[in-house]
Amino acid sequence: MTLHDLEKIFQAKIDQEIKIEPKDWMPEAYRKTNIRQISQHAHSEIVGMLPEGNWISRAPSLKRKAILVAKVQDEAGHGLYLYAAAETLGISRDQMIDDLHSGKAKYSSIFNYPTLSWADMGAIGWLVDGAAIMNQVMLCRTSYGPYARAMVRICKEESFHQRQGFDALLVLSKGSEAQRAMCQDAINRWWWPSLMMFGPKDSESTNSDQSMKWKIKRKTNDELRQNFVDMIAEQIKLLGMTLPDPDLKWNEERKHYDFGEIDWTEFWNVVKGNGPCNKQRLDARRKAHTEGQWVREAAIAYANKKKEKSAAA
Ligand SMILES: [Fe+2]
Ligand SMILES: [Fe+2]
């Protein structure tokens, strides 16, 4: 079979909504794009644990602490499913972790912003996990089987994350003057970075067309961003708060909310590693990796011992 035939069969499968599985033939660029996207997603899950982990020891009640611990643990689990999905494409976990720690691999820029108050835990759940869900619901139908299946479970947990975030803000929004101000301040700081989570505009997104053809993505950055704005612009009414965008307005003709322009200079600046917490996050990851060395060694020694035992039996 020629390369051309293989490519034809591959694309026909995708067009018929048949999932691509690890042992199937696939174009090298498809493999690479998936490795990049899935590992980037995995890194985002585990780096995402850092800004929220910051507040576990300072949660305002036992109930909130338990919820936050559960949520941060979920994110670790998401990282694990996704690393495992990426491994099926022929990259090792060690390689991916090395790429993260050397700065070669990216993770979502949203986690390079600091968490300054308790209300940020609410704003992250509601806005950041909310934006993540928009992306991830689409990914439950992505063409690469292991990625799609991992996303189904992740999405269920993300819905809980968003609910708990909204609930935390709802309580603050009904609280004292200071609590209401804290709630509004968190929304003000997280709104624009959340919009940036959908990536560059379609007109400037280099990977978009091919990813749509291969059904790795099914909606464009701009479509997803619009869906997100439409959802949040309604939900914020329940909080009695406002979004920090004077241009936000319902457009009866389009049946969508219009909204202001993202600060793209800030967007690219954070992507390039100059965000407020880029260095802090990578340092924290590297430190955790070094300090966890003995755990990995112990796990390998234990696995070898077990293997020897079963070989001897
Ligand atoms: Fe997650
Ligand atoms: Fe989450």
Q: pLDDT tens digits, residue range 206-244?
A: 767 888 888 988 899 999 999 999 999 999 999 999 999
- What is the distance in A from the centroid of ligand 1 to the CA of 6? 35
d(CA 66, CA 121): 13
- What is the distance in A from the centroid of ligand 2 to the CA of 313? 45
pLDDT in tens, 1-15: 899 999 999 999 999
Paired tokens of 93: 């976990």
- What is the distance in A from the centroid of ligand 1 to the CA of 49? 9
- Of the listed ligands, the closest to the CA of 158 is 2
Which burial class, exposed, middle or buried, applies to 151 when counting CB atoms under 10 A from its CB (0-12, 13-18, 19+)? buried
- What is the distance in A from the centroid of ligand 1 to the CA of 45? 5
- What is the distance in A from the centroid of ligand 2 to the CA of 137? 13
Q: Which helix (H) or strand (E) holds 251?
A: strand 249-251
- Of the listed ligands, the closest to the CA of 160 is 2
- Of the listed ligands, the closest to the CA of 81 is 1
pLDDT in tens, 255-311: 999 999 999 999 999 988 889 999 999 999 999 999 999 999 999 999 999 999 999
Residues facing 250 on adjacent strands: 257
Mean pLDDT over 65-76 rounds to 96
- What is the distance in A from the centroid of ligand 2 to the CA of 130? 8
For the cut 90, the answer to whether the pLDDT of residue 68 exceeds it is yes
- What is the distance in A from the centroid of ligand 1 to the CA of 75? 4
